[in-house]
Amino acid sequence: MVGRPSPRNRNIWKEIKSAKESNKQALFTLLHTPPSSYGINRTTWTTADLHKVLRRQGVSICTDGIGSIIKNAGFRWLHARVVLTSKDPEYRTKVDAIKRILSKLGSDEAFFSIDEYGPFAVKKRGGVKRVPPGQEYEIPKRQKSKGWLILTAALELSRNQVTHIYSRAKNSE
């Protein structure tokens, strides 16, 4: 019977279609255009949308084949790395001055960076908890505060050690 391949041969068909240069070219051309150009009300592509548009263009490839092409090209999922930035035009000069001070510290000297956070309410917060079977772990959305605190932390920059205290006043004394 001609037509759909047997389950055993489907992976072979996927590999053949994902190896075709014309399919790769069509996919990457499509990926570099916004979905709105094809009447899709989204800002990023989904595999289903890519499959639908490629099918309209006459490119016969399954969603698994699309994923294979993208993976074989070396693309992967990454979380964005959060980096510190500053709009201060003298930022680099200030960082270099701190580095210079740290490099000249003696063994009996310390250099601290101090910051305060708060006041914040003391309430139950979400997280992970081991619960027995049949029991639920719930945190009420609205709850009465059990008090408030201010956290003051000092980072000793040359040894990378943190010292912190909780207080009721916003003062670094």
List, for residues 34-47, the tens digit of each pLDDT value. 999 999 998 889 99
Q: Which pLDDT value is given to residue 67?
A: 87
Domain-located, residue 83: no
Q: Which pLDDT value is given to residue 160?
A: 87
Domain-located, residue 25: yes
Considering the chain, what percentage of its residues have pLDDT values greater than 90? Answer: 24
Tell me the pLDDT of the chain averaged across its residues: 85
Residue 80, SS3 per DSSP: coil
Query: Could you list the residue range(s) of the whole structural domain that residue 21 is in?
Result: 7-72
Domain-located, residue 18: yes
pLDDT band with cut points at 50, 70 and 90 for residue 8: low
pLDDT of residue 80 exceeding 80? yes
Q: Same structural domain for residues 18 and 65?
A: yes
**Cα separation, 103 vs 111, whole angstroms:** 11
User: Is residue 67 packed enough to be buried (19+ CB in 10 Å), middle (13-18) or exposed (0-12)?
Assistant: middle
CA distances to 13, 61, 65, 90, 132 from 6, in Å: 10, 17, 17, 66, 46
Domain-located, residue 128: yes
Count: domains in the chain: 2
pLDDT of residue 1 exceeding 90? no
As a whole number, mean pLDDT of residues 82-90 equals 87
Q: Which pLDDT value is given to residue 157?
A: 85
Chosen domain end from 21, 55, 72: 72
